[in-house]
Amino acid sequence: MANLKQLAAREDLLTGGHRACAGCAAPIIVRQVLLAAEHPVVVGSATGCLEVTTTLFPYTAWKVPFIHNAFENAAATISGVEAAYQSLKRQGKYDKEVRFIAFGGDGGTYDIGLQSLSGAMERGHQMLYICYDNHAYMNTGIQRSSATPLGAHTTTSPAGSVIPGKKQYRKDLTAIMVAHNVPYVAQTSVSHWRDLTSKVKKALDTPGPSFINILSPCRLGWGFRPEDTIELAREAVETCFWPLYEVENGVYKLTYKPREKKPVVEWLKKQTRFRHLFKPGNEELLAKVQEHVDAEWEKLLQKCEVE
């Protein structure tokens, strides 16, 4: 279990002064991840909000070795670095313990980078892939991704007289990673620092590949005040829209269960991307959103063997 005093005493490996929006969850996630790492790390990042805002040439906010690669190949790049590291160790040319982490948004993970992520997981590299999931292609103008929830307004699924926002349910990428039979898969949120840092530590200590999906609210794409980032992330967990759990060697474990499951409508109301759902005529769609959340939550409880 993560210790707050110990984490706070460690050096912050992502500096201030980056170009991320006020209220952006991605830098908060990165800081928590790097604080949880107990060995030196090498970081790779797909093109996206995180890379663009923290490595504007010739500046960098990273105090660790950092590799920027294309949108689609963060997992392939960091797996190649890990393979070179293992080769050097076998040759007796390097003996330090190093960990390898790749970051990608949902566009570069759920969609464009899925093939390289799948390949890296299947090959069994000693690496951790982290998706900071903000539900759309935020860096290029808030276009829908396969992580975008049902009914959400984006620039390519605009809510109007033709369609009421995105017409499809979001992809369950965490379940897809579980299907790869990797040693460790988890889902967590920027709002729950202890859960997040504990899972990162466990992932980095696990032999073989690991994957963590982290909810990362985007104040521009979701439409909320910058100071409400953590509260929006927390409420997504309390409504069970974004449950916190881990799958270790195929065994599911729920790591947080709300005392009282809140209706998802309370979370939707606080985001402008869903405001059209509260106009007359969209009651059925609102009901579908709640029904889907309820159904997925019940399935997860069964997998975790929780009543």
State pLDDT tens for residues 127-171.
999 999 999 999 999 999 999 999 999 999 999 999 999 999 999
Domains in the chain, number = 1
Residue with tokens 């100071």: 227
Q: Rounded to 5, what percent of the chain is helix, strand, coil?
A: 40, 15, 45
User: The domain that contains 147 carries what CATH number?
Assistant: 3.40.50.970
Residues composing the chain: 307
Dist. CA 146–CA 210, nearest whole Å = 21
Tokens of residue 97, six digits: 């313990």
User: Is 31 a residue whose pLDDT tops 90?
Assistant: yes
The neighbour count for residue 262, using CB atoms within 10 Å, is 15
Q: What is the pLDDT of residue 8?
A: 87
Q: What is the pLDDT of residue 39?
A: 97
Dist. CA 59–CA 52, nearest whole Å = 11
Q: Which amino acid is at 150?
A: L
pTM across the whole model: 0.97
Q: What is the pLDDT of residue 307?
A: 80
User: Is 1 a residue whose pLDDT tops 70?
Assistant: no
User: Is 6 a residue whose pLDDT tops 90?
Assistant: no
pLDDT band of residue 5 (cuts 50, 70, 90) is confident
CB 118 within 8 A of CB 180: yes
Average pLDDT over residues 61-70: 97
Whether the bond between 149 and the residue before it is cis, its omega within 30 degrees of 0, is: no
Structural domain harbouring 104 = 4-303
| 8-state DSSP, 226 | G
Per cent of the chain over pLDDT 70 is 99
* Helix 26-36, helix 193-205: angle, nearest 10: 50
Dist. CA 220–CA 99, nearest whole Å = 33
User: Is 43 a residue whose pLDDT tops 80?
Assistant: yes
